[in-house]
Amino acid sequence: MYTICLVDSRNRNTIKGRGATRNPAGRFEKEHVEADYDHGVGPVSGIKTQYIDDISQTVISKNNSPDIGFNRSLNPYRGCEHGCSYCFARPTHEYLGYSAGLDFESKIVVKRRAAELLEQEIGKPGYEPETLAFSGVTDPYQPIERKLEITRKCLELLARCRHPVMIITKNALVTRDIDYLSELARFSAVGVNISITSLRLDLARKMEPKTSAPYERLEALRQLRAAGIPAGVIMGPAIPGLNEIEMPELMAAAVHAGAQWFRYSTLRLPYGVKDLFLDWLDRFEPGKRQRVEDRIRSIRGGKLNNSKFHERFRGEGIWADQLKSLYLLAKRKSGLKEELPVLNVHNFIPPGLHQLDLL
């Protein structure tokens, strides 16, 4: 398979709305084609997003990682048009024969039958409900969701069945589904995590080109809380030397908007994400690259990534300790009580079973 590198070495800000400027070959591919500017290949002014139908026959993924707070997840989409430059999920696209670079944000695999397949799975005899994470990998509310409503259809089913669900998103579109989320909240079966990386609109636009603006995400949080839906904020990720200093201000804004909890994770750079993120720093924050890279290495044992369980989300060393101290100080100042929701699995009603059948 051939992959094409779409980098303009003369003007590296030409790909509008994309977090990556390159399309490096996946680690499973044998051949790679580089752009040849001397012969008319590049630069590129824009890349149209392609939507590819997924043919999976199941939609619930099981997790056996001991440092992740859920065992099951559902990803309505593979790849993510939000285009976050730092996204740890980019390498998952390589298993599909695509690149972790531009392919990840421009070739979106959609699970149109997700709700149907979900109903089949949770309707099996002997099914034991437990919290289902939306999503374990990519955002369930990326731009195409407004049209396809795959996430909404799944939530309609889960609300009808009172099945617990925990949502993570960077998109204010989540407020569209307040009707179903409110129904789930009646049975203590939902929690929503709004992911906010920076309050600075300029930085957010560069790091996360197609996500909702930070103030829109805070407004979404306000609306969720006003509707009685448990919700909090994840600073994901905190990037040493770039945005970590914003944590106190971000936490204060989150609490003011009604957040019941606040969590953070430290930047992870698995596989090819390392080069893609360093390239992003060269383009958008060139004066900070060395400082950011040095601090990442300091919390990752001299490397750019450490995949060890229980260390990968926080890191180790002086900068990791300072980040934790900053978090604890911000928490005290904000008055945050950390009211994490305990989701209830005991109200689950299997699909097709009506309430009268339970009498």
Distance separating alpha carbons of residues 36 and 65, to the nearest angstrom: 42
Q: How sure is the predictor about 29, in pLDDT bands with cuts at 50, 70 and 90?
A: confident
Distance separating alpha carbons of residues 280 and 31, to the nearest angstrom: 24
Name the residue range of residue 218's domain: 4-348
Stretch 150-165: mean pLDDT, rounded? Answer: 98
Whether the per-residue pLDDT at 45 is higher than 70: the answer is no
- The answer as to whether 91 is a domain residue is yes
- The answer as to whether 115 is a domain residue is yes
Domain count, the chain: 1
- The answer as to whether 359 is a domain residue is no
Distance separating alpha carbons of residues 2 and 98, to the nearest angstrom: 9
CATH number of the domain bearing residue 152: 3.80.30.30
- The answer as to whether 356 is a domain residue is no
- The answer as to whether 262 is a domain residue is yes
Task: For residue 29, count CB atoms less than 10 angstroms from its CB and return exposed for 0-12, middle for 13-18, buried for 19 or more.
Answer: middle
Whether the per-residue pLDDT at 356 is higher than 50: the answer is no
pLDDT tens for residues 259-315?
999 999 999 999 899 999 999 999 999 999 999 999 999 998 888 887 776 566 678
pLDDT tens for residues 187-200?
999 999 999 999 99
Whether the per-residue pLDDT at 48 is higher than 60: the answer is yes
Minimum mean pLDDT among 27-36, 83-92, 93-102, 218-227: which range? 27-36
- The answer as to whether 163 is a domain residue is yes
- The answer as to whether 357 is a domain residue is no
- The answer as to whether 57 is a domain residue is yes
Report the share of the chain in percent with pLDDT over 90.
Answer: 73
Report the share of the chain in percent with pLDDT over 70.
Answer: 87
